[in-house]
Amino acid sequence: MPPKRDPPSTEESIAAMSENNSKLTASTNLNNDKILTNQAASSLQLENLEKQLENLGKKLATQNEQNTNLIATLTQTLQRTTKMPPPTASPPNRDLQIRPPKLNLPAFDGINPLDWLFQADQYFSFYNITPPQRLAMVAFYLSGDALSWHKYLYNNNLLTTWEAFTRALETRFGLNCVVGLPPEALLNCFILGLRQDIQQELFILRPHTITQAIGLAKLIEDKSNDQVSTPSSSTLLEAPSQSSETLPIKRLSPTDMQKRHVEGLCYNCPEKYHPGHKCNPSKFLLLQSEHEHKLATIDPPWGISTIEYYDNVGP
């Protein structure tokens, strides 16, 4: 067993108690400082909360005031509305505005021109489009051969008015309305309706389709108009004066020519012929052969005109 310790003396007990009291006092003071610090922080937070509550109260008061004014305004408006007389009934269909449906104009490709022109007139009239505007917009409603034809008119400044355009379209594509005729018959009908000079040119060029014939006919007509408007150079030159004097002509037959050759005479004068011979005075002789020129004719393949030429036939 461990040895028994002696009980502490009175002085030691008092010293221990004093030390414990000092520690307790220091701990108490520290706790008091913490409590004071926490109380100060709590007081500051309470002050901030009081300020926030005060601001919130002011905002609520302002909002209540605005709501009160709004209620008063709505009440006055409602009272005025109830006091106003009922509106008079307007005549039916006078102020009623119906939204028009969206319409589309189909593109014209050269088929059924009269039907398309009717639809185009109805379409442009419905939207109140003036004739000059129609002429500017019509290219967006064409396709195929019709668009190519319109491009030709536009590039050559041939688009004048809407009325002229509709007539030209009927003339250009009206033949497509004929049913039962082969393309060759339509081509012949078109060519036979042209001027004689244009027909002759087309017979030479021999177009295969009516579209080619129309384009070539237009080019030939433009060329003819340019030639008429431009004076030819032959009209600008004065006609040469014709001399009233006629030259003496002596005709030699083959018999006379043979006789002169045997006698050694010159063919142009009665003198002897030798190298370096010159006739004095100079004479013009016409040598005539016993064979005559026969006039032959050839029928051209186009059936337009007749080509004549001189064919020298030998003995």
pLDDT at 80: 78
What pLDDT was estimated at residue 186? 78
Phi, psi of 158 (to 5 degrees): -105, 5
Domain boundaries, the chain: 20-74, 113-228, 249-311
Q: How many helices (H) and strands (E) does the chain have?
A: 10, 4
Could you list the pLDDT tens digit for every one of the 315 residues in the chain?
A: 566 666 667 877 788 888 888 888 888 888 888 888 888 888 888 889 898 989 988 888 898 888 898 898 888 888 777 765 555 655 555 555 677 778 889 999 888 898 999 999 999 999 899 999 999 999 999 999 899 989 988 998 888 999 999 988 887 887 655 556 788 887 888 888 888 999 999 989 889 888 788 888 888 988 888 877 665 544 444 444 444 445 455 667 778 877 887 888 887 777 887 777 777 655 555 554 444 444 333 343 333 333 333 333 333
Decide: helix, strand or coil at residue 97.
coil
Q: Would you state the pLDDT for residue 184? A: 84
Q: Which of 134, 189, 195, 213 is nearest to 166 (CA)?
A: 134
User: pLDDT by residue (tens digit) across 50-87?
Assistant: 989 899 888 888 988 888 988 988 888 887 777 655 55
Q: State residue 119's pLDDT score.
A: 92
With tokens 């939204």, the residue in question is 99
- Residue-level pLDDT at 84: 59
Looking only at the bridges linking them, the beta strands covering 284-287 and 249-252 are parallel
Question: Residue 83's pLDDT is what?
Answer: 65
pLDDT of residue 124: 92
* pLDDT on residue 177: 57
> Model-level pTM?
0.33
Burial degree of 187 (CB within 10 A; 0-12, 13-18, 19+):
buried
DSSP state of 131: H
- Whether residue 272 contacts residue 265, with contact meaning beta carbons closer than 8 Å, is answered with yes
Largest CA distance in the chain: 204
